[in-house]
Amino acid sequence: MNDEQWESLCDGCGQCCLQKLEDEDTGEIHLTDIACKLLDTKSCRCSRYASRFEQVPDCLSVRDVVNENPGWLPQSCAYRRLAEGRPLADWHPLVSGERDSTLNAGVSVSGRCVSETQVPVAEWTEHLIYWPDVD
Q: Is 121 within 8 Å of 31 (Cβ atoms)?
A: no
Residue 113: inside a domain, yes or no? yes
Query: For the chain, what is the mean pLDDT?
Result: 91
Total count of domains within the chain: 1
Query: Is residue 132 a part of any domain in this protein?
Result: no
58 inside domain: yes
Q: Does residue 134 have a pLDDT over 60?
A: no
Please tell me the predicted confidence (pLDDT) of residue 3.
86
Judge whether 106 lies within some domain.
Answer: yes
Whether residue 69 is contained in a domain is answered as yes
Mean pLDDT of 52-69: 90
Q: Is residue 18 part of a domain?
A: yes
CA distance 99 to 129: 26
Phi-psi region of 98 (alpha: psi -120 to 50; beta: other; left: phi over 0): beta
pLDDT at residue 135, rounded to an integer: 57
Tell me the three state secondary structure of residue 52: helix
CA distance 39 to 103: 15
Number of neighbours of residue 103 by Cβ within 10 angstroms: 19
- Boundaries of domain holding 18: 3-127
Identify whether 76 is part of a domain.
Answer: yes
Domain membership of residue 64 (yes or no) is yes
Report which of residues 121 and 3 the model is more confident about. 121
Kindly report, residue by residue over 4-48, the tens digit of the pLDDT.
Answer: 888 899 999 999 999 989 888 998 888 899 999 999 999 899 999
